[in-house]
Every structure is written in structure tokens, then in C-alpha cells.
Structure 1
Amino acid sequence: MNTELHIDEFEQMLTSVDVADVYLKQLFDIYHQRLLANSNACQKLNRRGIPVDMIVAYRIGICDRKLNYYVQTSNRPDGAGFRGTLRRVGLTKPTGHEIFRGCIVEPVFEGDKLIAACGVKLICPSRPAPRIIQWYRQSVYITPVQFSIMAWGGRYATD
């Protein structure tokens, strides 16, 4: 048995997979599943012209501050990698809080690579905070992205 062949294949696989892409996809999958599980938020979006089939098609999610239930803590290797990736790409603040807290979130993928995301708060924040948050992945972002969620809920996003 030639073990060098297996090691070469393994090393080639490691260089072809970007761990950040895996973590970012997991994050937006969590947001998407959280929205689908939240019937109240789905009803609010439906009243604003965004039915469940659009939620599924566009992988829209909600950042409901429950990420800690789904991601290991930073003292575990996988949790540290996940949280470190989110901080490096700017999806969490230095305090560890998610930038999309309280937002309905629309990710934009190019193939399997997340390139941008837009968060819209459906409830006007009590503290001074932006109502719309746009995030662009620095290493991938090339041109402005047209977010569907902003067009669908135009007047709600700017109230």
C-alpha cells in the first residue's frame, strides 16, 4: 500500500477547502433554520410580501442571539475556529456580539462562497443603531450587490 499517495491527496484536499467558507456557510444555515423555526417572524415577513417560498429560495435567516446554543465555546478548538473566523471577517464585534443581531438576514453566495449579506431590522432599535446593515467579504467582494430583501421591504427598511 502506497501511503504517500494518500498523504498527497489529503494535502491537496486541505489546500482546496477554505475553512472560513465552511464556517460562514454554517452560520447562515443556522440563521436560516432559526427563521424557519420562528413562525412569528415568518408571518411578519409574509405580511410584508416575503412568503416562505422566497425565504427558502433566498436562504433568508434571522439573527436572534441564539448562536451560542449552536456553536461551541471559544475554549474548544472548533468553537475557537468558528468564532475566530467570524471576528476576522467582521461578522462579530470585538465583544463577540453578532453585527446582525435582531436582523432578518439575506446572504448572497457565488457558488458556495459567501460574498455579502444584508440585515434589516424589522423593529426600530431603541438605541441609535443602523436599520440596515450591509456586509461585504473583503477578499471576495468586487462589485456592489443588489440585495433582494431591500427591494421587497423598501419602506420597512427605511422607516
Structure 2
Amino acid sequence: MATNAQYLDQLMASLNTDTIYLQQAFDYYHQQYLGNEWAQQFVADSALISAELKQHPSAGLCDRTLGLKLPKRKTLEGGAIRGSLQRQGLLLPTGGERFRGCIVFPLTDGQGQIISAIGYRYAQRIRAWQQEIIRWSKPSIDDYFCSGLSLVDELIYGKALH
């Protein structure tokens, strides 16, 4: 039986807005996939995608429309959502989507939270600088901690020079 502290930790993890925004983004990708017969046929015919992934229940399609559905970044809500997705690496600093032009397969942990994803480009012509397969992992708390420490080091070093 879980203690109160463990229950509270689980509850707080489920209330994490970053997790909620991430889940909503992948839910949007999944809805786009379900509404696109061409994408479903691509998955069925692709030799790159394993048979296990072809049966994935949450496959998604990143067709560059997520950013159009999100509130503008200058609004409080839009800034929070876009900032969260950017911190997690799903949106690029330019506002573009990491999985642009990909069929996306999210991987979840034991609690059903998305921890990583793999995307396969579906374009007929893939440019030389583009990767055919894109892998993404949700940043851990340690990643945020280390980046925060390196920022503090930069600030201290910068002030010492001035």
C-alpha cells in the first residue's frame, strides 16, 4: 500500500503542466494521424517501420499544424504552452516542431506518461541535411539542474570579467 507521501508524489506528477502539455501535443498528433489515410498507408507500406510499431496504438502525424492550433506566444497561455514544449525539446527555438514531416510513435513509462518518441520522415524527398529517423527523449530533472548550473556559471564568469 502506498504511503501518503508516495500518493502525493504521484498526484503532483500527474498535475505537472509540462506533462499535460506534452500529452496534449501527442494526442493532437494522434488525431491528425487518425484523420489521414495516406499516413496510415505509409506506415503499413514502410519497410523502415517495424511490425511492432505498425501496431502502435498512439501513432501520430506531425504535419506542421500544431503551432497553428496553439495560442500565440505573446499571450500568457501561449507563452506557457510553447515554453513548456520548447523546454522539453518538442518545439525548436524557432517555433518549429522537432518531428516536422514525421510519423511519430511515443513511448510511455509504467504510469502512462510519455518519456520518449521516435519519428520516421514520410516525405518522398528527404534532403541531405535531414535525418530519416528522429529520436527524442523527455529531459529529466537532472538535465534541468545541470543546465541551470551551467547558466549560473556563465553569469558569474561574465560578471567577473566586467
Shared fold per TM-score greater than 0.5: yes
Contact 1:117 1:135 in 2 (8 A): yes
In structure 1, the gaps of 5 or more residues are 1-12, 142-159
SS in 1 for 2:108: strand
Return the offset for 1:69: 3.1
- Once the two structures are superposed, the pairs formed by residues 61-140 of structure 1 within 5 Å of their partners are 61-110=60-109, 111-123=111-123, 124-139=125-140
* Letter in structure 2 aligned against 1:105: V
In structure 2, the gaps of 5 or more residues are 1-10, 143-162
* Equivalence for 1:156: none
Larger-Rg structure: 2
Mapped to 2, the partners of 1:16 and 1:120 lie a distance apart of 29
Report the aligned-residue RMSD: 2.6
Aligned residues: 127
The 1:127/1:22 distance shift into structure 2, 3 A limit, reads same
Return the offset for 1:14: 6.5
Q: Greater shift after overlay, 119-128 or 97-106?
A: 119-128
Contact 2:99 2:134 in 1 (8 A): yes
Contact 2:67 2:96 in 1 (8 A): no
Contact 1:115 1:140 in 2 (8 A): no
- Once the two structures are superposed, the pairs formed by residues 7-18 of structure 1 within 5 Å of their partners are 17-18=15-16
Q: Greater shift after overlay, 86-95 or 27-36?
A: 86-95
TM-score by length of 2: 0.69
TM-score by length of 1: 0.70
Q: How many percent identity over aligned positions?
A: 34
* Equivalence for 1:155: none
